[in-house]
Amino acid sequence: MLTIAASLGSDVPFFLSGGLALCEGRGERVTPLPQYWPASMRWILLVKPAISISTATVFRDLPASDYTDGSWSRRVCTALQTKSDLQPEDLHNALEQGVLERYPEVAQAREDMLRAGVAYVRLSGSGPTLFATFSDLMRAARAQRHLHTQGYEVYLSRAVYPDSENDMKR
């Protein structure tokens, strides 16, 4: 089933299991991680600028100098496994700099998010969607409303785990 899923798209194998996972390769190698998510990142705000971005183009334009050695991912995995707080700078995306430089709409959305009171903003995947996390629902909802009035497609979600009874207790 994983082989079929990978042939449909790089992200598809992840959706067979869901939850928190480390995805490697093109996304076809999925390693489940402990079902822990820091309380400081309980609420996730997604903001999509009105632009489409070709994933193939983003990867084609990625300079070798932006490649990483996997240390960012290992740092995040270690923090999750030890139930330590993640630092915003640990949520590194090697594609972010290039996307922000080549797509002014994404860079503008990032600036608008920061002006809306978001502490930090990261690119989701190859973009154009950006995300920020919050511990406090009220702050997240305030930023969501502000960005929605600016015309962005905005979603506010809570981190959950499939088949986890403990999620409802958090």
Q: Which CATH superfamily is domain 37-169 in?
A: GHMP kinase, C-terminal domain (3.30.70.890)
pLDDT higher than threshold 80 for residue 115:
yes
Query: 103 or 169: which carries more pLDDT confidence?
Result: 103
pTM tops 0.85: no
Q: How confident is the model at residue 161 (pLDDT cuts 50, 70, 90)?
A: low
- The sign of the torsion formed by the CA atoms of 129, 134, 140, 143 equals negative
Instruction: Write down the pLDDT at residue 31.
Output: 87
Domain ranges (residues) in the chain: 1-32, 37-169
